[in-house]
Amino acid sequence: MEKIIFIAETREGKGKGVARKLRVNGYIPGILYGPDIKPLPIKLNRKLNEKTLKHITTHNIIAEIKLKKNGEEENFSAVLKDIQRDPIKDEIIHVDFYKLSIDKPVIMSVPVLLKGKSKGEEKGGILDQELREIKVEGLLKDIPEIIEIDIENLDFGHAILVKDIKLTASIKILEDPEKVVVTVLKPKEEKVEEEKVEEVVEEPKVITQEKVEERRKEKEEKQESEA
């Protein structure tokens, strides 16, 4: 995976007014903090970081920071912990970085990447990924950028649990071992109920002999009245 690099420098002042002025001048305000440093206000030149910013769609990614401070440049690794975006322009307007220690264990959430297509999907099943990140603890140099899981043999009703994931002995997984990472669900069977069409059959009218005599009498009376 291509290394993510941010070019930053320290800045003076805090508050909304300062941040607004920085944005007008083409900078993105940010903050750098960690276990070994006090919170340090920083700024990123939008043009210098434009290529990197285009590929940023999420937080909790490891990046290399090239920080200019008092005329000198310091390089170190950090986690992009938070990104604030303008809801209208969808531009990044603030970033938070957490400086990582090289020789001390750190806790990070590592993205899960599913490899292949499962047997269940081939049969029309639905892939259900319940964990997209897995929290781990270890030295920065040992933590993988992604956790890749092969799902080709995954069939209906089968699941891959956290305990099924194998990492190096130096990395500790901090999730519940019985938690489901990914499974394949059977497609729902659609039950089509046949509409019962009730035929309405009209019963034939029955003319009785009595009715015939009655009609004949009415006819005769009518003829006599017309005569």
Q: What is the pLDDT of residues 118-172, one digit of tens each?
A: 999 999 999 999 999 999 999 888 888 889 999 999 998 899 999 999 999 999 9
Does 5-99 carry CATH code 3.40.50.360?
Answer: no
Q: What is the pLDDT of residue 193?
A: 54
| Top-confidence residue, 13 or 78 | 78
Please tell me whether the overall predicted TM-score, pTM, comes out greater than 0.85 for this model.
Answer: no
Architecture in CATH for domain 106-185? Beta Complex (2.170)
With beta carbons less than 8 A apart as the criterion, state whether 95 and 28 touch: yes
d(CA 42, CA 31): 5
Looking at the chain, the number of H-run helices and the number of E-run strands are 4, 13
What is the model's pLDDT at position 211? 61
Could you tell me which of 60, 62, 146, 66 has the C-alpha nearest to residue 101? 62
Amino acid identity of 152? E
191 or 12, which is more confident? 12
Give domain limits for the chain.
5-99, 106-185
- In single-letter form, the type of residue at position 37 comes to I
**CA-based nearest residue to 56, from 91, 27, 88, 29:** 91
CB of 101 closer than 8 Å to CB of 35: yes
Q: What are phi and psi of 156, to 5 degrees?
A: -55, 135
Q: Which of 132, 113, 144 is nearest to 179 (CA)?
A: 132
191 pLDDT exceeds 70? Answer: no
Could you tell me the CA-to-CA distances from 64 to 4, 20, 89, 99, 161 in Å, in that order?
A: 6, 26, 27, 10, 32
